[in-house]
Structure 1
Amino acid sequence: MELSHFVMCILTVISMASANPVRYEENFHEIIQDLRQLLNEEIVAEAPKYMDQVLSDVAEEELNSIPDEKDWRKDGYVSAIKNQGQCASCWSFTATGTMEGQWYNSTGHLIQLSEQNLVDCAKDNGCDGGSVKRAFIYMRDEGIEPSHSYPYKGKKGTCSFNLSDSIGTLTDFKRLRGTNEAEIMKIVAKHGPVSIYVFMSEKFLNFRGTGIFNDPKCNKKPNHAVVVVGYVNKPSEKYWIIKNSWGTSWGDQGYMKMIMNKNMCNMNYLVYYPIV
């Protein structure tokens, strides 16, 4: 095969990766499959050494193209601070928090969704802890009601989901395990709020004020779930904007500025976001 043909094929895959960098960074084998459709097997065998550089260049270009700050609250994607109370239902609040943003992006209407619907119906442990994954599976397969038709009670009850009251379903969701903050930033910048798991250190539990949270002891396996609704990535300050579900008396009216680029509270552990 002539070199010009090989280069043309590589450029084609670069174009594919640029159009959907998240997919290609997560699924390297799909890149090779795309090349396989364009090139002979012997050429494909040489592809990996070229593709590392391709993906590196695409990732750097993507990172350089995103804004140095983003706050989805200003764009109407984020509902008011909620309070889970004594029910260990943070998993449901972070799931609705991200779904509300994507529903707003799709319809132009910000609707507060029902955490109680998930607590009662999502085949999880309700107020004894749960899974963001199962919350998204439920919303994908069944739908979800708004909070006004299925209000929060702070305890697990019998599922009383009414399909006629459901706002709709999500198309799918993405999960990233053990990712990095640069990748999270790209997703938040281009997609919207995302769900993350964090560890609750004592300082996290008792955090108040507008300062940037930085606790070296907040580094164990996550045991809580929150929403990333934005970030600031400037030379003078770098932090994530975290939305919690503990009411407005926690943090800064329910929010926290969490220091960036330290994997604070093990935030890279697991990331979810819905696709509507």
Structure 2
Amino acid sequence: MHNPASGSGSGSDSEPNVEPATGADLNVPSDNDAAAEYVVHHGQPRYVEFRGPEGSQLLILKSDSDASPLRPDQEEIVDDKGHVEFMREAPLKTKQDWFSKVATCLVHDGDWHEKSGKHFTFNLVQFPDGYKLYKHYKGKKHNPRSDAYLFGSPTVLKFRSPNEFVPHAAWLIFGCPRDDNNNPRCGCRYCSKVPQKVISKRLSERTAHLKHYTGKRSARVATPTDRRKRTRSRSPVRAKDYTRINAAAGGSVPRWQEGPPAPGGRT
């Protein structure tokens, strides 16, 4: 297990005084088959600061954003079919979901903390500088579909899920290393061309011990208090015995309950 890394305390102007990441530190395979197993950089994290209770809050001190203007919130316009399509900054609840999933995956998969591999979750303090999470709404006005997208990287148009961003965030934390051709040595699906299902499978395996984490896109976060819905057992409803009721009341028995007539009797 690695001890929590310490940073400079500010992610905007200062960075930790460390040597740049090397190929040996990154453990990047050279062939395509091995690349499918490479998801997150391993070793001591460099550009990250652990804060808060028990070091559970992560501040990423490095960014690849070129500080270009991000997408402004779009006006909701309804077309002649009653449909809408617009994008706005994601609400706090969606951001918190990403913060938890990204940070928890980073730490547990990279083994960066003394609580890695235990029932312990982490959270990002914020997205890297220049990154912003949006929600895209499309469909019927009263019930449009919504998807969260993270913008900010100059090499990736958008990240569609926390699992897509995790390897790229690890690349930022290790100083944005590049190969001899100046290509990002990043393990995300867009930079490495590794299928996302391979990346997500590994991240799910590395966080399987965490009950709250599902690894699924836009999944609802479960809680330890979740329980199965109890169903009431239903016993068959018995019909009333009107024979006894009428007898107790001194009344006669209805003809339809008298049974068949006796031989030679009156009908």
Question: Scaled by the length of structure 1, what TM-score is found?
Answer: 0.24
Give the structure with higher Rg (CA): 2
Question: Scaled by the length of structure 2, what TM-score is found?
Answer: 0.25
